[in-house]
Amino acid sequence: MNHFREPIDQLVQDGKRYVEVQLDSVKLRSIKGLSQGFSTVASLLLIFILGSVFTLALSFALVMWLGELLGSYVVAAFIVSGVLLVALVACILLRDRLFKNTFVGAFRDVLDPDQPLKEDTLEGVDAALQVNKIQLDAAEEGLMEDVEQMKAVYTPRNLLNQGLQEIGNRTSRASFSLGRYLIKTIRDFVKK
């Protein structure tokens, strides 16, 4: 009887493993997508802040100070603008390094605080996604094999044979119990 249930038990185990791997995949993809999205927003926000507030406040002060030193406010304005342009270009060029991996850890911990993932960078998340893809393919293959095995085991003929065998087992157990009861009854009758 246990041999007859093995395909179903195996399918359940492989199904659980497949679901676990799929959940890991969803977590990893969420971490990657959210990190990239927030890093883009954060870098654009920083660039906007640098480009507006910092430029207005600092440039006015520097132009006034350099204008007094150089005797020309126009030259001072060009110097200040050049320095701020260099700072803006540096922020644009370094935005990936500054912001790309900043949010990975935070989203990783939010998605599964009890058992955080090991990936701290987007490269680590990409590597984990590759491993997850391999595990997912293996789990799918295992499920397909289980379904094929079930098709082979649970044919109408095998189901009929299993049913008849179970009926025979129950009948023989019942007959044996009835026989023991009859023998006991006869012995009790003979003893009296």
Task: Write the CB contacts of 34 (distance below 8 Å, at least 6 apart in sequence).
Answer: 103, 107
Question: pLDDT over 90 for what percent of the chain?
Answer: 3
- Are 34 and 90 within one domain? yes
- pLDDT tens digits for range 106-147: 666 656 655 555 666 677 777 777 887 888 888 888 888 888
Residue 8 within a domain: yes
- Are 118 and 34 within one domain? yes
Residue 145 within a domain: no
- Are 32 and 104 within one domain? yes
- Are 55 and 8 within one domain? yes
Q: What are 30-33's contacts with CB under 8 Å, separation 24+?
A: 30/107, 30/111, 31/104, 31/107, 31/108, 31/111, 31/117, 31/119, 31/125, 32/122, 32/125, 32/126, 32/129
- Are 159 and 136 within one domain? no
- Are 127 and 173 within one domain? no
- Are 87 and 12 within one domain? yes
- Are 41 and 88 within one domain? yes
- Are 82 and 169 within one domain? no
Q: Which helix (H) or strand (E) holds 188?
A: helix 156-191
- Are 161 and 191 within one domain? yes
- Are 92 and 161 within one domain? no
The Cα 82–Cα 76 span in angstroms is 10
- Are 97 and 177 within one domain? no
Put simply, whether the predicted model's pTM sits higher than 0.85 gets the answer no
Residue 149 within a domain: no
Total domains present in the chain: 2
- pLDDT tens digits for range 50-94: 778 877 887 888 889 999 999 988 888 888 888 888 988 988 888
The Cα 74–Cα 88 span in angstroms is 21
Residue 136 within a domain: yes
Residue 90 within a domain: yes
- Quote the pLDDT of residue 101: 65
Structural domain that includes position 121: 2-140
